[in-house]
Amino acid sequence: MKLPSTAVLLMMLPMTALATPVWRGNFETGDLSQWSGKDAVASDRLQVVADPAREGRYALKVTVRKGDDPINASGNRNELFHFGKESEGEEYYYKWSTQFAADYPSADTWQLFTQWHHDGLNGSPPLEFYVRGEKLYLRLEGRDDRIVWSAPLVRGQWLDFILHVKWSANPRIGFVELYYNGELVLPRQGSATLFKGMQNYLKQGLYRDESIGQVGVVYHDAMIQATALEDVLPPVQPPPVAAPVTPPAADEAPVGDAPVSDAPVLAAPTPAPAPQAPAPEVQPSPGLGTPGVVDAGEANAAAGCSTSGGSLGGLGLLLALGAVARFCFRRRASPAA
């Protein structure tokens, strides 16, 4: 079943006033001051950069090399942390974007890029996103049998996350819900999202198995913590509205270079002529033997014309017959009124 996109989800939300985000860690200050602190071996391991940026002007570039161990613990890391002090019964939405470099290493071991760690001294966190091989994973409760989501690892493009969490040590109260690249990929999943008697805090960067030798580079941007989904969804842009065009008045000719329609102009139809009786076949006059010269009697009969008056002789008779024949031919050839 195809799940609704981010735009559809936003349109389904009630039209209420948006709440103010609880916290932003989007690097738009141009530095790391939005975060509580960092664990890094050198300043070039956690850099605010302008390119690539998912939103706004800046993002964080994280670099981890073999041997990077700023806190003398297991694994290699360079991470930022934010003391949000997530506590029993609190409920938040977290939105951020991550991009793995084109040469990000593929290793059959763990590489954490975002985690909510408990405030105890050791042990796996109750909620963590990590890479193993060519896949992304979300693991809960620090247990391998609580991997609740996975997706293929994609390099060289921004991946968008929205995590909805109810923080509780009681699995009947705590839950997680995950949107990935605008789709709901993990419906609400009950879980103990806190360890009993502890609070959580956010860590983001790269923390990985110390056996990995290749340099790892990952980018993070646009982190927001909020209390409502609409606060972390991107705004839906309305379509542009064309300016209204006022047509000229009926008695007013267009002024200047008015646009001309490409549609063809159709002429008014010409009335069809009335049906005509077929013209009689012209036969040579028997007395003259010249084709095309019509006998006066045949012409008069065909046209329905008659001549009157006395006998005409010679040339006068021929002229009269010619005139009558022409008059009757024109009358027969003319369309009916």
CA–CA distance, 122 with 139 (Å, rounded to integer): 17
Mean pLDDT for 165-172 is: 98
The pLDDT, as a whole number, for residue 4 is 53
CATH of the domain spanning 6-231, picked from 3.30.70.360, 2.60.120.200, 3.40.50.800, 3.40.640.10:
2.60.120.200
Say if residues 95 and 224 touch (Cβ distance below 8 Å).
yes
Q: Can you give the pLDDT at residue 15?
A: 39
Is the confidence at residue 150, as pLDDT, over 70?
yes
Confidence (pLDDT) at 234: 78
**Side-chain half-sphere exposure of 163, counting CA atoms within 13 A:** 26
pLDDT digits (tens, 9 = 90+) for 206-251: 999 999 999 999 999 999 999 999 999 876 667 777 777 666 665 5
Q: Which residue has the tokens 């909510």?
A: 116
Q: Is the model's pLDDT at 333 over the cut of 80?
A: no
Query: Where is pLDDT greater, at 288 or 31?
Result: 31
- For the chain, the domains span 6-231, 283-337
pLDDT for the residue numbered 233 = 87
Give me the phi and psi of 171, to 5 degrees please. Answer: -65, -15
Question: What pLDDT, on the 0 to 100 scale, is given for residue 274?
Answer: 53
pLDDT tens, position by position, 254-263: 544 444 444 4
Tokens of 289: 């033997």
pTM for the model stands at 0.68
pLDDT for position 143: 95
- Give residue 174's pLDDT: 98
43-63: pLDDT as tens digits: 999 999 999 999 999 999 999
